[in-house]
Structure 1
């Protein structure tokens, strides 16, 4: 394969030419088992598990924090009881009683929507700076401090709630501000650590920690709320984040060149396979070409569309389970978490499958990214529409919601890693840009859900699911038409060109 500029001797085949073999043979690849790169993926996995636990715990705890029995909604019990209660729960109350001394607050659905969306107001502002600085300095310090800072702030949630709505809103926004650097920092680190033929599996393993964290945190939050009271949720989750930070700073390095426990074989394999694209981008970046890049705007639009449905369910599903289906808080937490177990498994499997398809040259990188994005978004949309017509069937609703989020996890090997395909050196900055736009649905979706469902009826929730499904379809169409896996010309430097010429010379001499 004649290597295009910016590619190294073990780069995955690009779209222009797919009929030659990488120069590093498979038997020269150090095994992943117990390797530094796999250890990094597992530490990231647990880090993002904590991050998403910190992000979603409020959505379940809100059921226990908000006592709406004294508000006007309590006077409209016929509206609240849109669906019959599950068998054996006919005599239970919508209000969730807390241990003696634990406060509850008269927050209506609109107020809850604003509080659930507050996190994303802060999350918007640090994505791009975090990606830029991570690409220059390395992502270790930014990812570590992002998780640590968010964890420490989470422990102040009970105090902020006691002080008032504005304090709690500000605290959640500040948590988002600290956490905003984490995903761009992850992408910047993988630009230096992930060999091209292992990108999908390493990045989906680390990123799938988010779904795993949601799966664990949602039912655990319900159990803690019921046994210890909702304030304990924030103390325990925050403590877990602080503990993780100790291991992160002790064992992680920004670059394989500076890692103290990596083998020489693995270090050389990573450095040689990534080539000059695995170095920092310096202070200057091609801002104007980025702003005019169709592939970059394609990623932005598609991620915004995909995130709308994801954030709608992430922040509002426990409310739906409580207000419409009337599950108690333990059942609510478990059933709200079930979709994320499926998404976790599906995203990891999709990463392995994507790497295999690319490595064996079944499809080009572009086709693989489009295929996985199309399957994930259209399938998720279909099941969301099915939810809107499941009515009061508890079994069908839970099944369709689980299938929607599970199959939606396939997009982890599609659009969500496309930044590192089109510009490896700038991957952290690009993720900061795309995630900034992708966070806008996290702000708007919970607020829109609050408006749609103000009267707590099935008709209101049907609007929520239809809007999410339609936006998913729009994202699938955009990425299918305009998406690409090719390295963009503005991402290639003179150094990359010189390296590519050396690679071609070595290839010709052999």
Structure 2
């Protein structure tokens, strides 16, 4: 990683007139009780609901099957868990582990299809309508899951695939808000508040799902999350706006501050995408490669934690569910704390933007790799602690390369994030196959899994530390418009 430098020796790429203007006005504008932070919370809740809906089946499927077998993609253990029975008034199904795996992965395949197109169109038209439609569609389909399961496996599979198509529109489209709503000195914290809803939603789903399966039964998971999502989609359309200029509740002072300190992009159907220049850019590939490598490790850690709980410790369902959810809540805390520290380092001019991005990428990739390699050589309790630490520290990357598209190409941030997400999802589809191959070979299979995952993660870190940039790339520059 590049050596740290003093403010007087800053590189040219970190000098930004908009950022300097934002610094002058920052103290005059309220931060935490502002509309831009309210927008971040709205996005946070949206991500929370979508994430809970995404995880619903992986939790409920344990109670939906009429045997004690468990899909290896589930987030919780069935050990000592009686499951749903007919005398409780909830249906159960005779699904093999292979069928369960197909159902669980169906939304992932759907998400891969829509994530890039939605990122592109969000950059052209804004993210409000795309995200609202995504949330409403996913929520309605969540309500239909119990009915579809009763009608037959084919109907449930169709619902899951279409739900995946809807959910794939959400993450990348949400990124279109930040070029207009997040000033440079608050960009890390605001965007991380929004992103962290995904982690908190997973926590709520894993932690609360087991209890909902016990009472009133597994269908309640889909009805509760789907119902909340439908209601929230109404609030979304009413309260969320694509930019501060059109929001009726924003103060004049905050509006002036946001317009003067952010990049104002033009929403137009003539919006062009410099795809050739983008593909040739190492700054672009630094983000994509890091996404692939980080998710390879994290997907394996997510899979391995419940397995370790099952194999190494004799835990009942509720304890296993709690320990499976524990990395999610610690990751949420780590994300929020990391974003605050990152913006503090920037606002106090302790580090330049490029140093902050590379520092948090280093912390979020080096130490998880180190911890993961040590897992096969320690006792069960220590292994669980290391896996929790790995998952938690990995979220520091949200203050590093993950939000880097907002630095190098604010105009195309939603598209770049969507490409990164698509590659990330493909990584998540491939890594379990490789993991399964290693585990099936011999007793040292898990060691090979952790070594390979850690090596891939380190490769992504090194690639970003060498090629990562924060200056707006030539292909992403645009003429600014005055809206007064």
TM-score (norm 2): 0.87
1:401 and 1:305 mapped to 2: Cα distance? Answer: 17
* CA–CA distance in structure 2, aligned partners of residues 257 and 70 of structure 1: 55
Q: Distance in 1 between matches of 2:407 and 2:136?
A: 30
Gaps of 5+ in 1: 1-12, 74-79, 81-85, 500-510
User: Is 1:341 equivalent to 2:339 in the alignment?
Assistant: no
- Give me the whole-angstrom Cα distance separating, in 2, the residues matched to 1:124 and 1:437: 8
* Gap change, CA 1:316 and 1:146, over 3 Å in 2: farther
Contact 2:179 2:263 in 1 (8 A): no
CA contact (8 A) 2:141 2:159 kept: yes
1:255 and 1:261 map into 2 onto residues whose CA distance is 12
Conservation of the 8 A alpha-carbon contact between 2:139 and 2:229: yes
Name the counterpart of 2:193: 205
Kindly indicate whether residue 462 of structure 2 is the aligned counterpart of residue 477 of structure 1.
Answer: yes
Tell me which residue corresponds to 2:216: 228
For structure 2, list consecutive stretches of 5 or more residues without a partner in the other structure.
1-9
Which residue matches 2:7? none
Question: Is 2:374 aligned against 1:386?
Answer: yes
Distance 1:468 1:108, change over 3 A: farther
Q: Identify the match of residue 96 of structure 1 among 76, 79, 83.
A: 83
Whether contact under 8 Å (1:222, 1:332) holds in the other structure is: no
What is the Cα deviation at residue 113 of structure 1? 3.5
* Cα distance in 1 between the residues matched to 2:125 and 2:333: 33
**Per-residue deviation at 1:388?**
2.9
Deviation at 1:99, TM superposition (A): 5.6
Q: 1:177 to 1:311 in 2, by over 3 A?
A: farther
CA contact (8 A) 1:42 1:206 kept: yes
Per the TM alignment, residue 218 of structure 1 is displaced from its structure 2 partner at its CA by 0.5
Contact 1:338-1:402 at 8 Å conserved across structures: yes
Q: What is the correspondence of 1:368-447 to structure 2 with a 5 Å cutoff?
A: 368-390=356-378, 393=380, 395-447=381-433
| 1:218–1:463 Cα change, 3 Å | farther
Q: Answer yes or no: is 1:34 the counterpart of 2:48.
A: no
Q: With CA pairs under 8 Å and 6+ residues apart, which has the higher RCO, 1 or 2?
A: 1
Contact 1:114–1:446 (8 Å) recurs in 2: no
Deviation at 1:60, TM superposition (A): 2.4
Q: Which moved more, 1:311-320 or 1:437-446?
A: 311-320
Rate the CA distance shift 1:313–1:237 in 2: closer, same or farther, 3 A: farther
CA distance in 1, matches of 2:304, 2:61: 10
- Distance in 1, matches of 2:145 and 2:464, equals 39
Residue 83 of structure 1 corresponds to none
Q: Deviations over 1:480-505 (max 9, x none)?
A: 12111111000013x25x99xxxxxx
Equivalence for 2:47? 48
Alignment of structure 1 residues 457-476 onto 2, 5 Å = 459-476=444-461
Determine whether 1:187 maps to 2:172: no
Supply the distance in 1 between the matched residues of 2:421 and 2:351 (Cα, whole angstroms): 27
Structure 2 equivalent of residue 77 of structure 1: none
The residue that corresponds to 2:291 in the other structure is: 303
- Contact kept, 8 Å, 2:84 with 2:213, in 1: the verdict is no
- Secondary structure of the 1:427 match is helix
Shift of 1:137: 1.1
Asked if structure 1 preserves the Cα contact closer than 8 Å seen for 2:21 and 2:260, the reply is no
Q: CA separation of 1:196/1:121 partners in 2, compared to 1, >3 Å: closer, same or farther?
A: same
Give 1:22's match in structure 2, choosing from 14, 20, 23.
Answer: 20
CA-to-aligned-CA distance 1:252-304 (integer Å, 9 cap, x gap): 11110100100000001101111444766843221211122211112111101
Separation of aligned partners in 2, 1:464 and 1:58: 26
Q: Judge conservation of contact 2:196–2:336 (CA < 8 Å) in 1.
A: yes
1:109-508 matches, within 5 Å, as 109-277=97-265, 282-314=270-302, 317-318=305-306, 321-322=309-310, 325-390=313-378, 393=380, 395-449=381-435, 459-493=444-478, 495-496=479-480
Cα pair 1:135 1:280 within 8 Å, conserved: no
**Match in the other structure for 2:4:** none
Contact 1:372 1:411 in 2 (8 A): yes
The CA deviation at 1:318 is 4.1
The number of residues matched between the two structures is 466
Deviation (angstroms), 1:224: 0.5
Measured after TM superposition, the shift of residue 450 of structure 1 is 5.2
State the shift of 1:117 in Å. Answer: 2.3
Contact 1:194 1:270 in 2 (8 A): yes
Which string of whole-angstrom CA distances, capped at 9 and with x for unpartnered residues, describes residues 392-448 of structure 1? x2x323322211111111111011101111100111111111111111123234455
Q: Hey, what's the Cα distance between the residues in 2 that align with 1:27 and 1:305?
A: 36
CA distance in 2: counterparts of 1:463 and 1:159, whole angstroms: 42
